[in-house]
Structure 1
């Protein structure tokens, strides 16, 4: 049985990916800060799909939280075949107005959180010749006024992903670069597809399709968006 780890799994894209992987028969290790939502969701997955689910509080900006999470996952399952690095936070504002505290917070989650998460699971992924999917954003190669801190953090996440791939060819690294997705990132979900928003399930369906490609095929990144 293959084992998948999903961070930021309690809602939005992470939740949709976790459910899609459960449908595919993956055993799951789910981490998020919203413990109540995560526990309820984990029970639903076990009941609906008959898969084994480990859930735990996880703050990717906290190195100790990540170490404890990774230790629990590896002890429970013995190894990991798929790591979905999804946890992230938004950050708006002009660069000359963003506080030091906010800049550090967005980089701790969106950039260093990516680096730390991959680093902790990398030995197991190398042993199993696994896959890492990092959810960044369509803006990971753009310059966008009034969102410079967020954009820079996604550039950094992209750089980490590409560098890990160059240094570890036995592991597949995929950068998922979605456009606007109807999640809490944009406020309360409920936006229409016609407004230019994809659904979290669209991202999950794409990832599952990529995982089914032949073993010799590597898709390094996917930029995708709504047609509207």
Structure 2
């Protein structure tokens, strides 16, 4: 079965990575089931997906903290399209603040959405995939699932849990001999989405995207590639890959680096911010958006241009040295 024939469920599809991922699959001609709390934003996302040839969409407003609602999401996907080939657990929220300052109700909400929401999604997806004998479950974690951050305690905990969930599920499927059901984990670096504006914030400082910032489309491409070529874990963003390598070789140094960078560039030193629950308990109104205004795509292009220029310069220098050496010989 080709990629364009696949049925894909995406949670958190109203904006950011989820919305970019839904459109990436629609572009390939997949049937896409879009789930999130905000129906208006889901309808807008579905319209964007439907512009692509062969794409079919289904909007299912869903609170992923409700296990029954997630099971209903799976049932509706199967009723509409006959199966579920790919399930992307992506819906996530965040709360920033000193550990003692984040209200416990907000702490619990982050863990409920980011951990139990993924548990509910995995159970619903694997039930269908076991019956089919095949499928791919993709969990969106984060590089903070490898190196935690200060001021983001519940989010860091949740993303570590998502990695653990993926690992334990892969092991269980292996023990049971289910080789055609894959569980993959994606660890993005900082991504240009509305995530940071929508987070709960008790730091007193405005939350900004910690550079370098990458585009959500880059994550979406990684997700699509995992369906073609399943892998255990994939890090998105060169800075993320460098941090993960550092964490393996020198975990203490990685923690100190993350602490400094978070305090210096993830929280503004110029703009204050009032305490807010963000969109933890009530979803944001409106049609939603893929990008957060942090210019991830433009910055990625600038970095690539700079790297290409540096490589070209190095090649030119090497060429001149070789020429001089040949003349001297």
TM over 0.5: yes
Aligned to 2:123: 119
Q: 1:155 aligns with which of 129, 154, 160?
A: 160
Please identify which structure carries the higher helix content: 2
Q: How many residues align?
A: 220
Q: 2:171 aligns with which of 148, 166, 171?
A: 166
The residue matched to 1:176 in structure 2 has which SS?
strand
Deviations 1:10-37 (A, max 9, x none): 1110111111111112111110112112
Q: Displacement of 1:226 after TM fit?
A: 4.7
User: Does residue 1:211 correspond to 2:221, yes or no?
Assistant: no
CA distance in 1, matches of 2:151, 2:196: 15
Q: 1:137 aligns with which of 139, 142, 154?
A: 142
Q: Displacement of 1:145 after TM fit?
A: 1.7
User: Does residue 1:176 correspond to 2:186, yes or no?
Assistant: yes
Q: Displacement of 1:182 after TM fit?
A: 0.3
Aligned to 1:199: 215
With over 3 angstroms needed to count, the CA separation of the structure-2 counterparts of 1:121 and 1:95, relative to structure 1, is: same
CA distance in 1, matches of 2:57, 2:17: 18
CA distance in 2, matches of 1:166, 1:53: 33
Structure 1 residue runs of 5 or longer lacking an equivalent are: none
CA distance in 2, matches of 1:150, 1:195: 18
Normalization by structure 1: what TM-score?
0.89
- Bigger drift between 177-186 and 123-132 goes to 123-132
User: Does residue 1:75 correspond to 2:87, yes or no?
Assistant: no
CA distance in 2, matches of 1:194, 1:149: 18
CA contact 1:196–1:226 (8 Å) conserved in 2: no
Deviations 1:112-152 (A, max 9, x none): 10011110110222324111111111010223222111111
Q: CA RMSD in A?
A: 2.0
Aligned to 1:64: 68
Detail structure 1 runs of 4+ shifted over 6 Å in the superposition: none
- Bigger drift between 178-187 and 68-77 goes to 68-77
Q: Displacement of 1:92 after TM fit?
A: 1.2
The residue matched to 1:80 in structure 2 has which SS?
coil
- Bigger drift between 107-116 and 149-158 goes to 149-158
CA contact 1:197–1:226 (8 Å) conserved in 2: no
CA distance in 2, matches of 1:118, 1:194: 30
Between structure 1 and structure 2, the one with the greater Rg is 2
Deviations 1:69-106 (A, max 9, x none): 22211222221111111100011122222222111101
Normalization by structure 2: what TM-score?
0.63
